[in-house]
Amino acid sequence: MSKGRFITLEGGEGSGKSTALSFIETWLTSHKIDYIATREPGGTELAEEIRALFLQEREEKVHELTELLLVFAARTQHINEKIKPAIEQGVWVLSDRFVDSSYVYQGAARSGDIKKIDILADWVLEGYLPDLTILLDVPVEIGLKRVEQRAKNDRLDRESVRFHETVRNAFLERASQHDHYKIVDASQPILGVNHDIEMCLQYLNNKH
């Protein structure tokens, strides 16, 4: 049996990850491909509890290393309990954010130590790296305007515009350095975004 493919969606707040995820779900269903959709931080009961801890507003300062370890603790659980079993059974995995978000948020944006992230990634991922990472790239003002309409903002949504610029640039830099990335211009109308995503999916589906 062939292994399932692993697709991750990355990008800043309001770049359209959730919108893209539901388009990909429709595409996979119409191609009769078995898949699971999941997200990070989270994806399992325990990992979702860690996510809630991580996003909660609190008086106590959250040390950068604590944040990094929490995210990787959730990821360890996610990989072992959900991602690995699916891929081994030939099921495709679709994740809203994955390890690249750690490099960008806990790394570049928080001036974290990239070497520590490399070590954790090497330790935790066990080779379960995405076959395709779709980076939804959108100017910060457009992304923030899209999420502004939403009622509930969390801790990360309220970071400064500069923080979001750093995030965008860090994603673009990672994309330029890694072959599994495809950059999609997410400032286009949704139909254009979907078209570009479909090209990526066809390519991945035909690749052996």
In the complex, the residues that contact ligand ATP under the rule CB under 6 A are 11, 13-19, 146-147, 186, 188-190, 193
Amino acid at 130: P
Triad 122, 63, 15: Cα angle to 5°: 70
* Shortest reach from residue 27's CB to Mg ion, in Å: 18
Q: With respect to ligand ATP, which residue has the nearer C-beta, 16 or 87?
A: 16
Residues 94 and 35 sit within 8 Å (Cβ to Cβ): yes
- Dist. CA 144–CA 88, nearest whole Å: 38
Q: With respect to Mg ion, which residue has the nearer C-beta, 18 or 111?
A: 18
Residue 127 binds what, of ligand ATP, Mg ion, none (CB under 5 to 8 Å, by partner type)?
A: none
Cβ-proximal residue to Mg ion, closest one: 18
Residue 44 binds what, of Mg ion, ligand ATP, none (CB under 5 to 8 Å, by partner type)?
A: none
Residue carrying the six token digits 């990239």: 114
Residue 15 binds what, of ligand ATP, Mg ion, none (CB under 5 to 8 Å, by partner type)?
A: ligand ATP
Helix, strand, coil % in the chain, rounded to nearest 5: 55, 10, 30
Reading the block at residue 63, the tokens are: 């040390």
Interhelix angle for 64-78 vs 45-55, to 10°?
Answer: 160
Q: With respect to ligand ATP, which residue has the nearer C-beta, 161 or 190?
A: 190
Q: With respect to ligand ATP, which residue has the nearer C-beta, 87 or 104?
A: 104
Q: Does 153 bind Mg ion (CB under 5 A)?
A: no
According to CB under 5 A, which residues from 4 to 23 bind Mg ion?
Answer: 17-18
| Burial label, 204 (beta-carbon count in 10 A; 0-12, 13-18, 19+) | middle
Interface residues toward Mg ion, by CB under 5 A? 17-18
